[in-house]
């Protein structure tokens, strides 16, 4: 099969400097960009709808992430196993179409009793979409271009936080939350269409420059349940991956207590400005994009500074937002949001790159599925705890407490990072002797 006619072959033979020559990546990236952009239109619209239009209290608002997390708790690890067994592009297309249909149903939701179950069903589609997208990236992109692909995915995700909320705020002011939901529906339809050419990819793609690892040769030849258990076993044997997921789990537990309460805080600071949430979220996205760009120009950052330092910046920004009194200037709020974004960018790039790079290609879907399961378990309790905390002490005080806790977690990550991400005596994937006790992300392929 010639390289000119096969996306999979292009992925295996493309030189390091030609990521965009990989047709499969171009299609997948475009679809991902559209879906991310539409999701941010949708997310801001729903928050404004329940806080400003329906006037619900913080505890009821906290129910939104809880019901959205339940499908992930129940099905994420199984979705990861499924993503390693099926044609990922087909699975992603089906998820996009289901999201489109369920978003249409959300348009007519009259209250929370209807909205919550519809959001839960739509979240179920996303549960299967995430590990499929990660596994497909690992298949169509060769190892020496993986960091570039991860960086681009991070940039489009954070860039969506800029364009989506800003344009969403304009749409909200001119039209309604329902108009934002319709834009998300259109974006999902285009995403599904862009994925259709990738249906021709074979189920398994192994690049010529990636060794087939002895521990993973039998993966894919087992039954579904054995593969699911193998994913957990693989995670336990590979401490860098395991510690990355645990560290992110702890940080996420803290952050999720206030993640869906930004609208509550901002309403207490500026009660009449419905567009403020979109502006602050856009500032967070801008900070993340700037950090991703800086990391690519820097050339290298250690795991402990990427994860620990990023977590510390997130915590500092949240705490400073909590200190803002009513009537604070918008520029100040945007600045603190930008600081959160800087930390978010460092954390996202570090975490996704570690999980992609340190994981064998055959189990990437399972590893990300397990990560989604753990993240979703937190969402069953943390948002509700955050809602109760805001009821007890006020939104500003809750943000200050959570920000301080997250800053401490980040500092601990920096101090103990050499142990958490220490190289094993031999590399579990390649069998090569490790050479550094403080591994880092080598950003040698600048995306600019």
- 202 pLDDT above the threshold of 70: no
Mean pLDDT highest for which of 102-116, 282-296, 375-389? Answer: 102-116
Which pLDDT band holds residue 159 (cuts at 50, 70, 90)? low
Which tokens go with 269?
Answer: 């600071």
Q: Is 49 exposed, middle or buried (0-12, 13-18, 19+ CB in 10 A)?
A: buried
* pLDDT band (50, 70, 90) for residue 434: very low
Residue 139 has pLDDT above 70, yes or no: yes
Q: Which two tokens stand for residue 175?
A: 């039209």
- Of 128-132, 237-241, 381-385, give the range with the top mean pLDDT: 381-385
Of the chain, the percentage scoring pLDDT greater than 90 comes to 21
pLDDT at residue 217, as a whole number: 42
Nearest to residue 103, comparing CAs of 117, 116, 119?
119
pLDDT at res. 173: 64
Q: What is the pLDDT of residue 324?
A: 94
pLDDT of residue 441: 56
Residue 352 in this model has a pLDDT that exceeds 50: yes
Residue 425 pLDDT more than 90? no
Which residue ranges make up each domain of the chain? 19-198+225-442
In the structure, what pLDDT confidence band is assigned to residue 97 with cuts at 50, 70 and 90? very high
Residue 408, pLDDT > 70, answer yes
Structure tokens at 73: 């708790």
Mean pLDDT of 14-32: 75
Q: What local confidence, expressed as pLDDT, does residue 8 receive?
A: 41
The structure tokens listed for 107 are 């348009």
- Look at residues 310, 304, 318 and name the one whose alpha carbon lies nearest to residue 404: 318
Cβ atoms 284, 345 nearer than 8 A: no
Largest CA distance in the chain: 65
Quote the CA–CA distance of 110 and 100 in Å, as a whole number: 19
Whole-number pLDDT of residue 333: 95
Whether residue 427 has pLDDT greater than 70: no
**What integer best gives the mean pLDDT of the chain?**
78
- Predicted pLDDT of residue 269: 93
66 or 156, higher pLDDT:
66
182 or 361: which leads in pLDDT: 182
Q: What mean pLDDT is predicted for residues 276-282?
A: 83
Neighbours of 203 (CB within 10 A): 11
Give whichever of 264-273, 277-286, 332-341, 427-436 has the largest mean pLDDT: 332-341
pLDDT at residue 238 greater than cutoff 50? yes
Q: Of 20-34, 110-124, 269-283, 390-404, where does the model show the most confidence?
A: 390-404
**pLDDT(384) > 50:** yes
pLDDT (0 to 100) of residue 225? 61
pLDDT at 111 (0 to 100): 86
341 pLDDT higher than 60: yes
pLDDT above 50: residue 192: yes
Report the SS3 class of residue 441.
strand
3-class secondary-structure state, position 142: coil
**CATH 1.20.1250.20 given to domain 19-198+225-442:** yes
pLDDT band at 176 (very low <50, low <70, confident <90, very high): confident
Give the least confident one: 158-167, 249-258, 270-279, 371-380.
158-167
Give, in degrees to the nearest 5, the angle at Cα 236 between 231 and 239: 125
pLDDT category at 226 given cuts 50, 70, 90 is low
Continuous H helices in 380-447? 382-393, 395-420
For residues 101 and 95, give the distance between their C-alpha atoms in angstroms, rounded to a whole number: 10
220 backbone φψ class: left, alpha, beta (φ>0; ψ -120 to 50): left
Q: For residue 1, what pLDDT band results from cuts at 50, 70 and 90?
A: very low
Predicted local distance difference test score (pLDDT) of residue 220 = 44
> What is the structure's pLDDT at 94?
92
Confidence of residue 235 (pLDDT cuts 50, 70, 90): confident
Cβ(366)–Cβ(84) below 8 Å = yes
Residue 193 pLDDT exceeds 90? yes
Mean pLDDT in residue range 284-291: 86
SS3 183: helix
Residue 351: what pLDDT? 83
Instruction: Tell me how far apart the alpha carbons of residues 99 and 102 are, in angstroms, rounded to a whole number.
Output: 5
User: CA angle, corner 337, sides to 334 and 343, nearest 5?
Assistant: 145
The pLDDT value given to residue 428: 40
Q: Which of 28-32, 179-183, 319-323, 441-445 has the highest mean pLDDT?
A: 319-323
């Amino acid at each position: 099969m010639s390289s000119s006619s096969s996306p999979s072959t292009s992925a295996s033979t493309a030189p390091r400097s030609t990521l965009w020559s990989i047709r499969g990546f171009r299609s997948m990236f475009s679809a991902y960009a559209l879906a991310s952009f539409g999701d941010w239109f949708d997310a801001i619209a729903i928050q404004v709808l329940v806080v400003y239009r329906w006037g619900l209290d913080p505890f009821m608002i906290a129910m939104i992430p809880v019901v959205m997390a339940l499908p992930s708790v129940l099905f994420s690890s199984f979705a990861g196993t499924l993503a390693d067994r099926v044609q990922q592009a087909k699975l992603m297309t089906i998820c996009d179409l289901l999201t489109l249909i369920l978003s249409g149903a959300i348009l007519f939701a009259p209250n929370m009793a209807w909205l919550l179950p519809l959001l839960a069903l739509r979240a179920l589609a996303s549960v299967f979409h995430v590990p499929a997208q990660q596994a497909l990236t690992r298949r169509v992109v060769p190892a020496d271009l993986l960091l570039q692909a991860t960086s681009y995915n991070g940039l489009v995700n954070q860039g969506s936080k800029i364009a989506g909320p800003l344009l969403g705020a304009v749409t909200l002011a001119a039209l309604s939350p329902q108009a934002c939901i319709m834009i998300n529906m259109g974006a999902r339809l285009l995403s599904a269409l862009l994925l259709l050419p990738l249906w021709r990819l074979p189920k398994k793609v192994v690049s010529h420059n990636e060794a087939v690892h002895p521990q993973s040769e039998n993966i894919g030849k087992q039954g579904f349940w054995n593969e699911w258990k193998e994913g957990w076993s693989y995670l336990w044997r590979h401490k860098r991956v395991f510690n990355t997921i645990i560290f992110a789990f702890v940080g996420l537990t803290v952050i999720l207590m206030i993640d869906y309460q930004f609208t509550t805080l901002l309403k207490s600071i500026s009660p009449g400005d419905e567009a403020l949430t979109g502006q602050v979220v856009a500032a967070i996205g801008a900070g993340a994009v700037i950090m991703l760009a800086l990391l690519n120009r820097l050339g290298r950052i250690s795991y402990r500074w990427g994860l620990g330092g990023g977590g510390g910046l997130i915590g500092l920004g949240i705490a400073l937002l909590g200190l803002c009194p009513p009537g604070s200037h918008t520029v100040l709020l945007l600045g603190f949001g930008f600081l959160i974004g800087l930390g978010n960018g460092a954390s996202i790039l570090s975490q996704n790159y570690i999980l992609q790079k340190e994981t064998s290609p055959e189990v990437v879907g399972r590893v990300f599925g397990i990560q989604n399961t753990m993240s979703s378990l937190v969402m069953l309790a943390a948002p509700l705890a955050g809602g109760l905390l805001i009821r007890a002490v006020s939104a500003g005080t809750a943000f200050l407490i959570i920000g301080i806790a997250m800053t401490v977690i980040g500092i601990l990550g920096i101090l103990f990072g050499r142990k958490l991400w220490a190289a094993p005596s031999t590399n579990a994937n390649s069998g090569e002797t490790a050479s550094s006790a403080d591994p880092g992300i080598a950003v040698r392929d600048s995306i600019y």
